Chain A
Amino acid sequence: MKDKTIGRILAFFLLISAVLAVVAVDSVRNINRSVASSDWVNHTHAVILEANGVASAAQAGNAAALTYLITGEARSQAQARDALSDMFEHLEVAKALTRNEPSQHAQVLRLETLVNQRAEFLRSAMADAKSNRPEAERAYVASDAIGASAGEIQRAVEKLTEEEMALLADRDRASYIQAQTTRWTVGSGVALDVLLLGGVAWLIWTDIEVRRRAAAALREANELLETKVRERTAELASANEHLTTENFERRWANQALEHQVRYNELIIDSINDLVFVLTKSLNISRLNPAVVRLTGFEAEELINHPFPLFARITTAGGAPLADPLSRALIEGHDLRDQRAIVTDKRGREIPVSLALFPLRDRDKVVGGVAILQVLRESS
């Protein structure tokens, strides 16, 4: 998007530059044309001026020659000669000015013919007047050649002037059209450039707006992201704290449980009487260290073995009774102060007082605890 906008702006500037170049080239060309046109106008005016100079000099020469023919004054003769000289001088300048323009040059050459004829006539008239002036004067006036010839020169000059003026008018129209074209070209170029610059400004403004919106969107996205990160971090911290607390609680619960188990074991192990934990079918599931000390049996040798094989309840006379332990557990009552005989590992019989307490778990008898107290012979 960014590259596309820059490309468009560059294209606009290229267009603006092209329009400026076209306007500049056209303007320079028009200026050159105007300069050339101005030179041509000056040149044409110079031709007209010189042609009129020829006509004026011809008129002055005519007047001075006529005066000389009438008065015979040498001064008039000199004036006539000067006028003729001026006339030729103007003619030469006009020829030089029209050298590169064939139609004008042809007219100037025609004028030259007339001028030569007129000069020849005046010279011969003034030469005749020297020897026979009154006759020459009459002949000169009668011939009316002066007027006719001078009129021809005047008409030729007028015709040349008219043609030059017509050309000047054409040039003037062309110059006007050219000036209008230049104005239109410059005006159009400037208007187009203004429009193009407006387009560039719009493009830049649009691009800035897009960038501003993109920056705002990015900022918003960053803020949202930061918020989410903060929330997530808080969640993680909370979860971590929860886990840590949970971990502590678990370890604490384990410690408490271990402590309780150890404490319970301590209570049983601290009793010096023989303590057995029995299953409901009277197998030994646990015993205290006093059993090992008194009988010499290791715990492994007694555990999971029937308790009645280890301790036999007897009558007062020493005869065994029929399974009072099972009956006590089934009926769920205590059995106290029962005489019994325990045989130790070496086969020695030890008289004991036996008590059996049903082991209840939620009012259900699941086994029993037997406590055997050694009876001393003396008692």
Chain B
Amino acid sequence: MKKHIVVVDDESSIRDLLGEFLTLSGYRVTTAQSALEAQRAVEREAPDLIVSDLQLEDSDGLDLIAELKTTLPNTPVILLTGVHFDPKVAKEILSKKVSCYLQKTSPLSKILEEVRRLIGS
């Protein structure tokens, strides 16, 4: 059974590209463009991993993650963002809320490496 990943991003080009890449890498991917869609997807089938953008149209990525964590406390989360955080800030604040924080400028191989580290192949 392939591991299930929910990818949340309001930019369709990034969402689709990441979904396609993770599918090709052997995962089952559900994409969502908003926090609402993400919540519905998670209710339909609990994922093994959530990959979310920080800035969403209808919510903040960190708020969404906090909500999802109430029902899925053990599901790892990767936060993807185009906003550059100060590394110290990212380590101190974000590491408490997400399993991993990655900038969108990170290469896909790095993202895949983190995915494999968190849920395996």
Q: Which A positions have Cβ atoms within 8 angstroms of B?
A: 244-245, 248-249, 251-253, 255-257, 259-260, 263
Contact = CB atoms under 8 A, between A and B. Distances in A.
A267 to B, nearest CB: 10
Contacts of B4: none
Given A245-B108, A259-B11, A259-B104, A252 B21 contact: yes
B11 A249 contact: no
B82 A260 contact: yes
Given A252-B108, A256-B105, A259-B82, 12 more contacts: A244-B24, A245-B108, A248-B21, A248-B24, A248-B108, A249-B108, A253-B105, A255-B11, A255-B14, A255-B104, A259-B11, A263-B82
Given A245-B109, A259-B104, A252 B82 contact: no
B52 to A, nearest CB: 15
A252 B11 contact: no
22 contacts: A245-B108, A245-B109, A248-B17, A248-B20, A248-B21, A248-B24, A249-B107, A249-B108, A252-B17, A252-B18, A252-B21, A252-B108, A255-B11, A255-B14, A256-B82, A256-B103, A259-B11, A259-B82, A259-B104, A260-B82, A260-B105, A263-B82
B17 A255 contact: yes
A129 to B, nearest CB: 150
B107 to A, nearest CB: 6
A251 B17 contact: yes
A300 B95 CA distance: 46
A23 to B, nearest CB: 82
Contacts, number: 38
B110 to A, nearest CB: 10
Given A255-B17, A256-B104, A249 B109 contact: yes
Interface string B35-78: 00000000000000000000000000000000000000000000
A226 B4 CA distance: 38
Interface residues of B, number: 16
Nearest to B13: A255
B81 to A, nearest CB: 10
Contacts of A248: 17, 20-21, 24, 108
Contacts of B82: 256, 259-260, 263
B119 interface: no
A253 B107 contact: yes
Nearest to A241: B24
B19 to A, nearest CB: 11
Contacts of B90: none
Contacts of B83: 263
B78 to A, nearest CB: 15
Contacts of A251: 17
A260 B17 CA distance: 17
A245 to B, nearest CB: 7
